[in-house]
């Protein structure tokens, strides 16, 4: 549908079995791109092979791939990450800043929020987005062939809510960063946009349920309640799936969105429209 043949993409935080990153990486490959994927570690869990499994899926689609371990919050590791992609594939056209700090310990009232927990969320979500974008933008400008940067914000980047302060602050900031960077890079034919998913069915929802559940309720039961409540409150009648976000990312990665930049687009089935 979108022609990404000849393009090279990097998706961060793409090693999770049910994650948005895995779905985006696969979708960009389906559209024809070669796709490097990165995560903190290449961790195999029961029944799931981590980053290496995502690489294998992409290669099965006859696209080139590479899995790279890198902490998006570490400047040196990010510089090395981008350099590795360029060394292997010759260039980088599309960066998807998808990595996100685990949900859980941060989902407490501000009066109970530890500085270290606050810092971890900002470090991964915000500093990581900045560091990866900066390294990619330097290369894209020098190469003079245009480019796409897609940042993962959230509907929590548009509206604050209790017990989400650290997460909301990071996702609001990503929207401000996206708008600022889009103006700087527009003359270089590099579009910078943010996606703002609503609740999406990934491993992260279990972390949220575990942190938010009332006493005496199991994580699994509360997770089901959360999903059912968010689904019935959504005009579409369900919560999002990773592929819903991947489709939007494919559009933003393609030339079809060439005149769109600086936007923060809800991917929320109509539950959020601004
Ligand atoms: P997830 O927690 O399943 O995946 C996040 C990935 O980021 C994991 O693979 C994790 O290992 C990786 N990561 C964490 N710290 C890292 C670091 N320092 N360096 C590199 N990688 C690191 O999350 P998800 O639900 O797939 O969400 C992906 C993105 O979408 C996140 O930015 C999240 O905030 C955002 N988002 C998710 C939802 C949702 O409901 N699932 C909604 C809105 C926005």
Domain for residue 272, yes or no?
Answer: no
Q: Which residues line ligand 1 (CB under 6 A)?
A: 12-13, 15-16, 19-21, 39-40, 71-73, 98-102, 124, 128, 152, 154, 197, 199-200, 202-205
Cβ within 8 Å of residue 41, ≥6 positions away: 15, 50, 69
pLDDT at 161 over 90: yes
Answer yes or no: do 82 and 168 share one domain: yes
Answer yes or no: do 14 and 108 share one domain: yes
pLDDT at 127 over 90: yes
Domain for residue 271, yes or no?
Answer: no
Answer yes or no: do 106 and 212 share one domain: no
CA distance 210 to 248: 29
Domain for residue 3, yes or no?
Answer: no
Answer yes or no: do 117 and 229 share one domain: no
Confidence of residue 46 (pLDDT cuts 50, 70, 90): confident
Taking only the tens place, the pLDDT of each residue in 48-99 is 999 999 999 999 999 999 999 999 999 999 999 999 999 999 999 999 999 9
Range of the domain at 228: 201-239
Answer yes or no: do 65 and 120 share one domain: yes
Nearest to 156 by CA among 106, 119, 94, 221: 106
Answer yes or no: do 205 and 128 share one domain: no
pLDDT computed for residue 59 by the predictor: 98
Answer yes or no: do 14 and 135 share one domain: yes
Domain for residue 273, yes or no?
Answer: no
- What's the CA-to-centroid distance between 215 and ligand 1, angstroms? 26
Please state the domain count of the chain: 2
Answer yes or no: do 205 and 111 share one domain: no
Share of the chain above pLDDT 70, in %: 100
CATH code for the domain in which residue 179 is found = 3.40.50.720
- What's the CA-to-centroid distance between 144 and ligand 1, angstroms? 30
Domain for residue 274, yes or no?
Answer: no
Report yes or no: 77 and 70 within 8 Å, Cβ to Cβ. Answer: yes
Taking only the tens place, the pLDDT of each residue in 165-174 is 999 999 999 9
Answer yes or no: do 156 and 258 share one domain: yes
Domain for residue 1, yes or no?
Answer: no
User: Can you tell me whether residue 98 is helix, strand or coil?
Assistant: coil
Ligand 1 pocket: which of 10, 11, 13 to mutate (most atoms <8 Å of CB)?
13
Residue nearest to atom 35 of ligand 1 (CA): 152
Cβ within 8 Å of residue 134, ≥6 positions away: none
Nearest to 124 by CA among 21, 261, 253, 17: 21
Taking only the tens place, the pLDDT of each residue in 187-241 is 999 999 999 999 999 999 999 999 999 999 999 999 999 999 999 999 999 999 9
Q: Would you give the DSSP letter of residue 124? A: I
Nearest to 189 by CA among 150, 142, 145, 129: 145
Active site residue 167: yes
Answer yes or no: do 121 and 247 share one domain: yes
Domain for residue 28, yes or no?
Answer: yes
Answer yes or no: do 170 and 148 share one domain: yes
Answer yes or no: do 141 and 219 share one domain: no
């Amino acid at each position: 549908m979108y022609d990404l043949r000849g393009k090279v993409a990097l998706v961060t935080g793409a090693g999770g079995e049910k994650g948005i990153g895995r779905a985006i990486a696969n979708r960009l490959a389906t559209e024809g791109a070669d796709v490097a994927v990165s995560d903190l570690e290449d961790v195999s869990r029961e029944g799931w092979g981590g980053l290496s499994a995502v690489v294998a899926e992409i290669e099965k689609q006859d696209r080139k791939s590479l899995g790279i371990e890198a902490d998006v919050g570490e400047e040196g590791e990010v510089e090395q990450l981008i350099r590795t992609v360029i060394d292997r594939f010759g260039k980088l056209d599309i960066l998807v800043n998808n990595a996100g700090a685990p949900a859980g310990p941060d989902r407490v009232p501000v009066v109970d929020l530890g500085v270290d927990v606050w810092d971890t969320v900002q470090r991964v979500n915000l500093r990581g987005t900045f560091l990866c974008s900066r390294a990619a933008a330097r290369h894209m400008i020098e190469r003079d062939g245009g480019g796409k940067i897609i940042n993962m914000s959230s509907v929590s980047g548009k509206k604050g809510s209790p017990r989400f302060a650290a997460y909301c602050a990071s996702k609001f900031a990503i929207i401000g960063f996206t708008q600022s960077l889009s103006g700087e890079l527009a003359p270089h034919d590099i579009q910078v946009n943010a996606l703002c998913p609503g609740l999406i069915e990934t491993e992260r929802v279990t972390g949220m349920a575990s942190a938010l559940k009332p006493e005496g309720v199991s994580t699994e039961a509360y997770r089901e309640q959360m999903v059912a409540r968010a689904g019935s409150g959504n005009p579409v009648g369900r919560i999002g799936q990773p592929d819903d976000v991947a489709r939007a990312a494919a559009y933003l990665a393609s030339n079809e969105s060439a005149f769109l930049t600086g936007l923060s687009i809800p991917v929320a089935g109509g539950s959020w429209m601004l």
